[in-house]
Protein backbone atom coordinates (compact mmCIF):
# COMPACT_ATOMS: atom_id res chain seq x y z
CA UNK A 1 0.00 0.00 0.00
CA UNK A 2 2.88 2.28 0.82
CA UNK A 3 4.61 1.52 -2.57
CA UNK A 4 1.45 2.34 -4.50
CA UNK A 5 1.22 5.72 -2.74
CA UNK A 6 4.93 6.38 -3.49
CA UNK A 7 4.59 5.51 -7.27
CA UNK A 8 1.52 7.73 -7.66
CA UNK A 9 3.32 10.57 -5.99
CA UNK A 10 6.30 10.15 -8.36
CA UNK A 11 4.12 10.18 -11.47
CA UNK A 12 2.29 13.25 -10.27
CA UNK A 13 5.61 15.03 -9.77
CA UNK A 14 6.87 13.88 -13.23
CA UNK A 15 3.73 15.00 -15.09
CA UNK A 16 3.60 18.24 -13.27
CA UNK A 17 7.30 19.18 -14.19
CA UNK A 18 8.26 20.75 -17.73
CA UNK A 19 10.12 18.60 -20.60
CA UNK A 20 13.91 18.36 -20.29
CA UNK A 21 16.04 19.94 -23.11
CA UNK A 22 18.41 17.54 -25.16
CA UNK A 23 22.09 17.92 -24.48
CA UNK A 24 24.72 18.78 -27.27
CA UNK A 25 26.14 15.27 -27.04
CA UNK A 26 22.75 13.73 -27.73
CA UNK A 27 22.28 16.02 -30.78
CA UNK A 28 25.75 15.12 -32.13
CA UNK A 29 25.03 11.44 -31.65
CA UNK A 30 21.68 11.78 -33.44
CA UNK A 31 23.34 13.65 -36.37
CA UNK A 32 26.05 10.99 -36.61
CA UNK A 33 23.42 8.26 -36.68
CA UNK A 34 21.47 10.08 -39.39
CA UNK A 35 24.58 10.61 -41.61
CA UNK A 36 25.58 6.98 -41.22
CA UNK A 37 22.15 5.73 -42.30
CA UNK A 38 22.05 8.24 -45.19
CA UNK A 39 25.46 7.16 -46.51
CA UNK A 40 24.45 3.54 -46.29
CA UNK A 41 21.26 4.23 -48.22
CA UNK A 42 23.21 6.21 -50.86
CA UNK A 43 25.75 3.39 -51.31
CA UNK A 44 22.95 0.90 -51.70
CA UNK A 45 21.28 2.91 -54.51
CA UNK A 46 24.60 3.48 -56.30
CA UNK A 47 25.29 -0.26 -56.27
CA UNK A 48 21.84 -0.98 -57.68
CA UNK A 49 22.29 1.64 -60.44
CA UNK A 50 25.65 0.15 -61.44
CA UNK A 51 24.13 -3.29 -61.61
CA UNK A 52 21.34 -1.97 -63.84
CA UNK A 53 23.79 -0.20 -66.17
CA UNK A 54 25.86 -3.37 -66.44
CA UNK A 55 22.79 -5.39 -67.46
CA UNK A 56 21.85 -2.78 -70.12
CA UNK A 57 25.39 -2.77 -71.55
CA UNK A 58 25.45 -6.56 -71.67
CA UNK A 59 22.13 -6.56 -73.50
CA UNK A 60 23.42 -4.06 -76.09
CA UNK A 61 26.54 -6.15 -76.75
CA UNK A 62 24.43 -9.26 -77.20
CA UNK A 63 22.19 -7.37 -79.64
CA UNK A 64 25.18 -6.16 -81.70
CA UNK A 65 26.67 -9.64 -81.81
CA UNK A 66 23.36 -11.07 -82.89
CA UNK A 67 23.11 -8.48 -85.65
CA UNK A 68 26.63 -9.20 -86.89
CA UNK A 69 26.01 -12.95 -86.79
CA UNK A 70 22.84 -12.45 -88.79
CA UNK A 71 24.69 -10.34 -91.38
CA UNK A 72 27.49 -12.89 -91.62
CA UNK A 73 25.13 -15.82 -92.03
CA UNK A 74 22.89 -14.00 -94.46
CA UNK A 75 23.19 -14.73 -98.18
CA UNK A 76 24.18 -12.14 -100.83
CA UNK A 77 21.78 -9.30 -101.52
CA UNK A 78 19.06 -10.17 -104.02
CA UNK A 79 20.02 -9.59 -107.63
CA UNK A 80 17.43 -8.73 -110.20
CA UNK A 81 17.15 -11.08 -113.14
CA UNK A 82 17.91 -8.23 -115.55
CA UNK A 83 21.35 -7.81 -113.97
CA UNK A 84 22.49 -10.95 -115.83
CA UNK A 85 21.58 -9.48 -119.22
CA UNK A 86 24.76 -7.75 -120.38
CA UNK A 87 24.77 -4.28 -121.88
CA UNK A 88 25.86 -4.49 -125.52
CA UNK A 89 26.83 -1.48 -127.58
CA UNK A 90 28.33 -0.90 -131.01
CA UNK A 91 30.34 2.21 -131.85
CA UNK A 92 30.70 3.08 -135.54
CA UNK A 93 33.46 5.59 -136.13
CA UNK A 94 34.38 6.32 -139.74
CA UNK A 95 35.95 9.27 -141.51
CA UNK A 96 37.15 10.90 -144.67
CA UNK A 97 40.76 12.07 -144.22
CA UNK A 98 42.69 14.42 -146.47
CA UNK A 99 46.38 14.49 -145.60
CA UNK A 100 49.83 13.70 -146.99
CA UNK A 101 50.53 10.04 -147.66
CA UNK A 102 53.48 7.82 -146.89
CA UNK A 103 55.38 7.27 -143.68
CA UNK A 104 55.17 10.32 -141.40
CA UNK A 105 56.68 9.44 -138.00
CA UNK A 106 57.09 12.12 -135.33
CA UNK A 107 60.59 13.42 -136.04
CA UNK A 108 63.16 12.93 -133.30
CA UNK A 109 61.16 10.30 -131.35
CA UNK A 110 61.45 6.52 -131.48
CA UNK A 111 58.18 5.34 -133.07
CA UNK A 112 55.52 3.69 -130.92
CA UNK A 113 54.62 1.40 -133.81
CA UNK A 114 56.92 -0.26 -136.30
CA UNK A 115 55.48 1.89 -139.07
CA UNK A 116 53.87 5.35 -139.02
CA UNK A 117 51.66 5.06 -142.05
CA UNK A 118 48.47 7.02 -141.45
CA UNK A 119 45.30 6.20 -143.35
CA UNK A 120 43.74 8.72 -145.69
CA UNK A 121 40.70 8.88 -147.90
CA UNK A 122 37.58 7.05 -146.75
CA UNK A 123 38.18 4.78 -143.77
CA UNK A 124 36.18 2.78 -141.24
CA UNK A 125 38.78 3.96 -138.74
CA UNK A 126 37.78 2.57 -135.35
CA UNK A 127 34.72 0.38 -134.69
CA UNK A 128 34.08 -0.97 -131.20
CA UNK A 129 31.85 -3.64 -129.70
CA UNK A 130 31.40 -3.32 -125.93
CA UNK A 131 29.81 -5.96 -123.67
CA UNK A 132 29.51 -5.34 -119.94
CA UNK A 133 27.49 -6.56 -116.95
CA UNK A 134 27.63 -7.23 -113.24
CA UNK A 135 28.91 -10.77 -112.69
CA UNK A 136 27.32 -10.91 -109.24
CA UNK A 137 26.97 -8.44 -106.35
CA UNK A 138 30.72 -8.58 -105.85
CA UNK A 139 32.21 -7.89 -109.30
CA UNK A 140 31.66 -6.39 -112.74
CA UNK A 141 33.15 -7.38 -116.12
CA UNK A 142 33.65 -5.67 -119.49
CA UNK A 143 34.98 -6.63 -122.92
CA UNK A 144 35.83 -4.05 -125.58
CA UNK A 145 36.67 -5.35 -129.06
CA UNK A 146 38.11 -3.00 -131.67
CA UNK A 147 37.39 -3.88 -135.31
CA UNK A 148 39.63 -2.60 -138.09
CA UNK A 149 39.21 -4.16 -141.56
CA UNK A 150 40.13 -7.83 -141.15
CA UNK A 151 41.54 -7.54 -137.66
CA UNK A 152 39.90 -7.83 -134.26
CA UNK A 153 41.79 -6.48 -131.27
CA UNK A 154 40.95 -6.98 -127.62
CA UNK A 155 41.22 -3.43 -126.34
CA UNK A 156 39.95 -4.23 -122.89
CA UNK A 157 38.82 -7.35 -121.05
CA UNK A 158 38.63 -6.88 -117.29
CA UNK A 159 36.81 -7.56 -114.07
CA UNK A 160 36.35 -5.04 -111.27
CA UNK A 161 35.41 -5.57 -107.66
CA UNK A 162 32.32 -3.83 -106.27
CA UNK A 163 32.23 -4.56 -102.53
CA UNK A 164 35.71 -4.44 -101.07
CA UNK A 165 34.71 -1.47 -98.96
CA UNK A 166 36.93 1.27 -97.48
CA UNK A 167 37.06 2.97 -100.90
CA UNK A 168 39.15 0.16 -102.44
CA UNK A 169 38.66 -1.25 -105.94
CA UNK A 170 40.66 -3.92 -107.76
CA UNK A 171 40.63 -4.29 -111.53
CA UNK A 172 42.26 -7.23 -113.30
CA UNK A 173 42.76 -8.34 -116.89
CA UNK A 174 43.48 -5.99 -119.79
CA UNK A 175 42.55 -2.38 -119.16
CA UNK A 176 43.51 1.16 -120.09
CA UNK A 177 45.90 2.51 -117.51
CA UNK A 178 44.63 5.13 -115.07
CA UNK A 179 47.62 7.41 -115.68
CA UNK A 180 47.05 10.89 -117.12
CA UNK A 181 43.70 12.31 -118.19
CA UNK A 182 43.18 11.23 -121.79
CA UNK A 183 44.49 7.69 -121.45
CA UNK A 184 41.29 6.03 -120.23
CA UNK A 185 39.13 7.68 -122.89
CA UNK A 186 38.35 5.61 -125.96
CA UNK A 187 38.67 7.23 -129.42
CA UNK A 188 34.91 7.82 -129.75
CA UNK A 189 35.06 9.95 -126.55
CA UNK A 190 37.94 12.12 -127.72
CA UNK A 191 37.24 15.81 -128.31
CA UNK A 192 39.21 15.72 -131.58
CA UNK A 193 39.25 13.28 -134.46
CA UNK A 194 42.82 12.18 -133.72
CA UNK A 195 44.99 11.77 -130.67
CA UNK A 196 47.36 14.40 -129.29
CA UNK A 197 51.02 14.24 -130.35
CA UNK A 198 51.93 13.60 -126.71
CA UNK A 199 49.97 10.32 -126.53
CA UNK A 200 51.12 9.33 -130.04
CA UNK A 201 54.75 9.70 -128.96
CA UNK A 202 54.29 8.06 -125.55
CA UNK A 203 51.97 5.15 -126.34
CA UNK A 204 50.87 5.21 -129.97
CA UNK A 205 47.22 5.58 -128.91
CA UNK A 206 46.92 4.78 -125.21
CA UNK A 207 48.72 2.72 -122.59
CA UNK A 208 47.08 -0.66 -122.08
CA UNK A 209 48.04 -2.99 -119.26
CA UNK A 210 47.66 -6.74 -118.79
CA UNK A 211 47.79 -6.97 -115.02
CA UNK A 212 46.23 -5.67 -111.83
CA UNK A 213 45.14 -2.20 -110.75
CA UNK A 214 44.35 -1.06 -107.21
CA UNK A 215 42.47 2.20 -106.60
CA UNK A 216 41.64 3.92 -103.33
CA UNK A 217 39.07 6.70 -103.09
CA UNK A 218 39.48 8.78 -99.94
CA UNK A 219 36.33 9.32 -97.80
CA UNK A 220 36.72 13.08 -97.98
CA UNK A 221 34.65 15.90 -99.40
CA UNK A 222 37.57 16.80 -101.66
CA UNK A 223 37.97 14.20 -104.43
CA UNK A 224 41.19 12.27 -103.80
CA UNK A 225 42.09 9.09 -105.65
CA UNK A 226 45.29 7.04 -105.50
CA UNK A 227 46.13 4.11 -107.74
CA UNK A 228 48.87 1.62 -108.57
CA UNK A 229 49.30 -0.93 -111.36
CA UNK A 230 51.57 -3.89 -112.07
CA UNK A 231 51.45 -5.37 -115.55
CA UNK A 232 53.10 -7.65 -118.05
CA UNK A 233 54.49 -4.69 -120.00
CA UNK A 234 54.23 -5.91 -123.60
CA UNK A 235 52.70 -2.68 -124.94
CA UNK A 236 54.73 0.38 -125.94
CA UNK A 237 56.89 1.71 -124.33
CA UNK A 238 57.38 -1.91 -123.22
CA UNK A 239 57.84 -4.83 -125.61
CA UNK A 240 57.01 -8.50 -126.04
CA UNK A 241 60.60 -9.37 -125.22
CA UNK A 242 60.57 -7.37 -122.00
CA UNK A 243 57.30 -8.94 -120.96
CA UNK A 244 58.54 -12.50 -121.52
CA UNK A 245 59.38 -13.24 -117.90
CA UNK A 246 57.84 -13.98 -114.53
CA UNK A 247 56.82 -10.92 -112.57
CA UNK A 248 55.97 -7.47 -113.83
CA UNK A 249 57.49 -5.83 -116.89
CA UNK A 250 55.86 -2.48 -116.17
CA UNK A 251 54.34 -0.64 -113.24
CA UNK A 252 52.57 2.67 -112.80
CA UNK A 253 51.20 4.89 -110.04
CA UNK A 254 48.88 7.86 -110.15
CA UNK A 255 47.13 10.38 -107.91
CA UNK A 256 44.15 12.55 -108.79
CA UNK A 257 42.60 15.36 -106.77
CA UNK A 258 39.66 17.59 -107.64
CA UNK A 259 36.52 19.32 -106.51
CA UNK A 260 33.84 21.89 -107.22
CA UNK A 261 34.01 25.67 -107.04
CA UNK A 262 30.45 26.82 -106.56
CA UNK A 263 27.83 25.17 -108.74
CA UNK A 264 29.30 26.20 -112.11
CA UNK A 265 32.95 25.13 -111.89
CA UNK A 266 34.76 21.85 -111.29
CA UNK A 267 38.37 20.81 -111.67
CA UNK A 268 40.76 17.88 -111.45
CA UNK A 269 44.55 17.64 -111.37
CA UNK A 270 46.77 14.60 -111.47
CA UNK A 271 50.32 13.28 -111.35
CA UNK A 272 51.36 9.89 -112.74
CA UNK A 273 54.49 7.80 -113.16
CA UNK A 274 55.21 4.91 -115.52
CA UNK A 275 58.20 2.60 -115.71
CA UNK A 276 58.71 -0.13 -118.32
CA UNK A 277 61.56 -2.45 -119.23
CA UNK A 278 61.46 -3.10 -122.99
CA UNK A 279 63.75 -5.65 -124.58
CA UNK A 280 64.45 -5.65 -128.33
CA UNK A 281 61.62 -3.18 -128.93
CA UNK A 282 61.60 -2.74 -132.69
CA UNK A 283 61.11 0.47 -134.63
CA UNK A 284 62.06 1.99 -137.95
CA UNK A 285 64.22 5.12 -138.32
CA UNK A 286 65.36 6.84 -141.49
CA UNK A 287 69.18 6.64 -141.74
CA UNK A 288 71.58 8.95 -143.58
CA UNK A 289 70.94 6.99 -146.82
CA UNK A 290 67.22 7.77 -146.45
CA UNK A 291 66.67 4.07 -145.84
CA UNK A 292 64.28 2.69 -143.21
CA UNK A 293 66.62 1.13 -140.69
CA UNK A 294 65.21 -1.48 -138.30
CA UNK A 295 66.29 -0.79 -134.71
CA UNK A 296 65.82 -2.72 -131.46
CA UNK A 297 65.94 -0.95 -128.07
CA UNK A 298 66.55 -2.71 -124.76
CA UNK A 299 66.69 -0.89 -121.45
CA UNK A 300 64.54 1.29 -119.21
CA UNK A 301 61.78 3.72 -120.09
CA UNK A 302 60.30 5.98 -117.42
CA UNK A 303 57.87 8.87 -117.75
CA UNK A 304 56.16 11.46 -115.52
CA UNK A 305 52.78 12.85 -116.55
CA UNK A 306 50.92 15.85 -115.14
CA UNK A 307 47.35 16.71 -116.09
CA UNK A 308 44.78 19.41 -115.31
CA UNK A 309 41.13 19.76 -116.33
CA UNK A 310 38.73 22.62 -115.62
CA UNK A 311 35.03 22.55 -116.53
CA UNK A 312 32.42 25.28 -116.51
CA UNK A 313 28.66 25.00 -116.94
CA UNK A 314 26.33 27.91 -116.04
CA UNK A 315 24.21 26.97 -113.00
CA UNK A 316 25.69 23.49 -113.22
CA UNK A 317 23.68 22.67 -116.34
CA UNK A 318 26.00 21.63 -119.23
CA UNK A 319 23.18 20.99 -121.72
CA UNK A 320 22.87 24.57 -122.90
CA UNK A 321 26.46 25.81 -122.73
CA UNK A 322 29.69 24.51 -121.25
CA UNK A 323 33.42 24.97 -121.50
CA UNK A 324 36.24 22.46 -120.92
CA UNK A 325 39.93 23.23 -120.68
CA UNK A 326 42.42 20.35 -120.50
CA UNK A 327 46.20 20.24 -120.55
CA UNK A 328 48.80 17.52 -120.03
CA UNK A 329 52.58 17.45 -119.87
CA UNK A 330 55.09 14.59 -119.87
CA UNK A 331 58.78 14.10 -119.24
CA UNK A 332 60.29 10.81 -120.44
CA UNK A 333 63.77 9.30 -120.09
CA UNK A 334 64.98 6.19 -121.89
CA UNK A 335 68.34 4.56 -121.27
CA UNK A 336 69.73 1.32 -122.64
CA UNK A 337 71.20 -0.25 -125.77
CA UNK A 338 70.11 0.21 -129.36
CA UNK A 339 70.79 -2.29 -132.11
CA UNK A 340 70.70 -0.99 -135.67
CA UNK A 341 70.43 -4.08 -137.82
CA UNK A 342 72.84 -4.56 -140.71
CA UNK A 343 71.01 -3.53 -143.86
CA UNK A 344 74.05 -2.39 -145.85
CA UNK A 345 73.41 -5.04 -148.52
CA UNK A 346 70.01 -3.41 -149.22
CA UNK A 347 71.43 0.11 -149.37
CA UNK A 348 71.13 1.05 -145.72
CA UNK A 349 73.85 2.63 -143.62
CA UNK A 350 73.64 0.51 -140.44
CA UNK A 351 76.20 -2.24 -139.86
CA UNK A 352 74.53 -4.23 -137.10
CA UNK A 353 76.12 -2.40 -134.16
CA UNK A 354 74.72 -2.33 -130.65
CA UNK A 355 75.61 0.68 -128.48
CA UNK A 356 74.21 2.89 -125.79
CA UNK A 357 71.04 4.89 -126.45
CA UNK A 358 69.80 7.60 -124.12
CA UNK A 359 67.12 10.23 -124.54
CA UNK A 360 65.42 12.88 -122.40
CA UNK A 361 62.32 14.32 -124.05
CA UNK A 362 59.17 16.12 -123.04
CA UNK A 363 56.07 17.82 -124.40
CA UNK A 364 52.35 18.22 -124.00
CA UNK A 365 49.19 19.76 -125.27
CA UNK A 366 46.47 22.19 -124.26
CA UNK A 367 42.94 22.26 -125.60
CA UNK A 368 39.73 24.18 -125.07
CA UNK A 369 36.23 22.97 -126.01
CA UNK A 370 33.25 25.34 -126.00
CA UNK A 371 29.63 24.29 -126.45
CA UNK A 372 28.12 27.62 -127.50
CA UNK A 373 24.59 26.30 -128.01
CA UNK A 374 22.83 22.95 -127.56
CA UNK A 375 24.36 20.23 -129.79
CA UNK A 376 27.10 22.47 -131.23
CA UNK A 377 30.70 22.62 -130.02
CA UNK A 378 33.95 24.06 -131.26
CA UNK A 379 37.47 23.40 -130.03
CA UNK A 380 41.09 24.40 -130.41
CA UNK A 381 44.14 22.29 -129.53
CA UNK A 382 47.86 23.01 -129.57
CA UNK A 383 50.45 20.22 -129.42
CA UNK A 384 54.15 20.73 -128.90
CA UNK A 385 56.94 18.25 -128.22
CA UNK A 386 60.50 18.96 -127.13
CA UNK A 387 63.01 16.76 -128.97
CA UNK A 388 65.35 17.21 -126.00
CA UNK A 389 68.61 15.28 -126.10
CA UNK A 390 69.14 11.98 -127.93
CA UNK A 391 72.41 10.02 -127.82
CA UNK A 392 72.76 7.15 -130.32
CA UNK A 393 76.32 6.27 -129.29
CA UNK A 394 78.34 4.89 -132.20
CA UNK A 395 75.10 4.36 -134.13
CA UNK A 396 74.90 8.16 -134.32
CA UNK A 397 77.14 7.89 -137.39
CA UNK A 398 74.21 6.36 -139.29
CA UNK A 399 71.56 8.93 -138.35
CA UNK A 400 71.38 12.65 -138.94
CA UNK A 401 71.14 14.78 -135.83
CA UNK A 402 67.60 16.12 -135.32
CA UNK A 403 67.15 19.57 -133.84
CA UNK A 404 63.43 19.88 -134.22
CA UNK A 405 60.40 20.39 -131.95
CA UNK A 406 57.24 18.87 -133.50
CA UNK A 407 54.04 20.92 -133.17
CA UNK A 408 50.46 21.03 -134.45
CA UNK A 409 47.41 23.31 -134.35
CA UNK A 410 43.96 21.67 -134.60
CA UNK A 411 40.58 23.37 -134.95
CA UNK A 412 37.33 21.41 -134.89
CA UNK A 413 33.59 21.88 -134.75
CA UNK A 414 31.07 19.12 -134.19
CA UNK A 415 27.32 18.65 -134.15
CA UNK A 416 25.48 16.04 -132.08
CA UNK A 417 21.86 15.47 -133.15
CA UNK A 418 21.48 13.29 -130.04
CA UNK A 419 23.63 11.70 -127.37
CA UNK A 420 24.05 8.70 -129.73
CA UNK A 421 25.48 10.47 -132.79
CA UNK A 422 28.10 13.10 -133.60
CA UNK A 423 29.49 14.59 -136.81
CA UNK A 424 32.80 16.47 -136.75
CA UNK A 425 34.84 18.62 -139.13
CA UNK A 426 38.46 19.19 -138.20
CA UNK A 427 41.33 21.13 -139.73
CA UNK A 428 44.94 20.77 -138.56
CA UNK A 429 48.25 22.37 -139.44
CA UNK A 430 50.66 19.52 -138.70
CA UNK A 431 54.38 20.17 -138.21
CA UNK A 432 55.27 16.88 -136.55
CA UNK A 433 57.33 15.63 -139.52
CA UNK A 434 60.50 17.67 -140.05
CA UNK A 435 60.69 19.58 -143.29
CA UNK A 436 57.22 18.68 -144.53
CA UNK A 437 54.33 20.53 -142.81
CA UNK A 438 50.91 19.26 -143.75
CA UNK A 439 47.39 20.72 -143.86
CA UNK A 440 44.92 18.05 -142.82
CA UNK A 441 41.13 17.90 -143.08
CA UNK A 442 39.05 15.21 -141.36
CA UNK A 443 35.30 14.71 -141.67
CA UNK A 444 34.22 12.18 -139.06
CA UNK A 445 31.06 10.44 -137.86
CA UNK A 446 30.53 8.64 -134.54
CA UNK A 447 27.37 6.58 -134.03
CA UNK A 448 26.49 4.59 -130.92
CA UNK A 449 23.98 1.73 -130.88
CA UNK A 450 22.86 0.07 -127.66
CA UNK A 451 23.48 0.72 -123.99
CA UNK A 452 26.82 2.32 -123.23
CA UNK A 453 28.31 3.30 -119.91
CA UNK A 454 28.94 6.89 -118.92
CA UNK A 455 32.33 8.36 -119.73
CA UNK A 456 34.76 9.55 -117.09
CA UNK A 457 35.13 13.16 -115.90
Q: What is the pLDDT along the chain (457 residues), one digit of tens a residue?
A: 444 544 444 444 444 444 455 678 888 888 888 887 877 777 777 777 776 776 666 666 556 555 655 554 555 555 554 555 789 999 999 999 999 988 888 999 998 876 666 789 999 888 899 999 999 999 999 999 998 777 889 999 999 999 899 999 999 999 999 999 999 999 999 999 999 999 999 998 899 999 999 999 999 999 999 999 999 999 999 999 988 888 899 999 999 999 999 999 999 999 999 999 999 999 999 899 989 899 999 999 999 999 999 999 998 899 999 999 999 999 999 999 999 999 989 889 999 999 999 999 999 999 999 999 999 999 999 999 999 999 999 999 999 888 899 999 999 999 999 989 999 999 999 999 999 999 999 999 999 998 777 666 6
**Residue 252: how many CB atoms within 10 A of its CB?**
25
Q: Which domains does the chain have, with CATH numbers?
A: 98-450 (2.40.160.10)
**Residue-level pLDDT at 132:** 94
State the Cα–Cα distance between residues 301 and 250, nearest whole angstrom.
9
**Residue-level pLDDT at 6:** 45
Rg of the chain on CA atoms, in Å: 39
Total-model pTM: 0.78
Name beta bridge partners: 305. Answer: 272, 330
Q: Which own/partner contact pairs does 222-226 have at CB distance under 8 Å and 24+ positions apart?
A: 222/257, 222/258, 222/259, 223/256, 223/257, 223/258, 223/259, 223/268, 224/255, 224/256, 224/257, 225/255, 225/256, 225/257, 226/253, 226/254, 226/255
State the Cα–Cα distance between residues 207 and 201, nearest whole angstrom.
11
State the Cα–Cα distance between residues 54 and 46, nearest whole angstrom.
12
State the Cα–Cα distance between residues 275 and 255, nearest whole angstrom.
16
State the Cα–Cα distance between residues 225 and 215, nearest whole angstrom.
7
State the Cα–Cα distance between residues 451 and 209, nearest whole angstrom.
25
State the Cα–Cα distance between residues 415 and 191, nearest whole angstrom.
12
**Residue-level pLDDT at 81:** 47
Amino acid sequence: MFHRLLLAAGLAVALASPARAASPDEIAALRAEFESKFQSLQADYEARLKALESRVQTAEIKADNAQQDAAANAGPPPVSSSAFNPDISLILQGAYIDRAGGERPISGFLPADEHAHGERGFTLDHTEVVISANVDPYSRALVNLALADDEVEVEEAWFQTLRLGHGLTVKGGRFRSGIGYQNERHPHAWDFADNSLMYSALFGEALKQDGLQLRWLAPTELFLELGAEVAKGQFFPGSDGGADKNGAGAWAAFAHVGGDVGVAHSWRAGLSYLRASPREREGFLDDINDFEALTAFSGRSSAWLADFVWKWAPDGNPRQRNFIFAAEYFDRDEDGDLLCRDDSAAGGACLGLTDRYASAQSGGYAQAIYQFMPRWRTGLRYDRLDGGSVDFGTNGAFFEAVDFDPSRWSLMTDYSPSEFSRFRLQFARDKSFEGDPDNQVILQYILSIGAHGAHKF
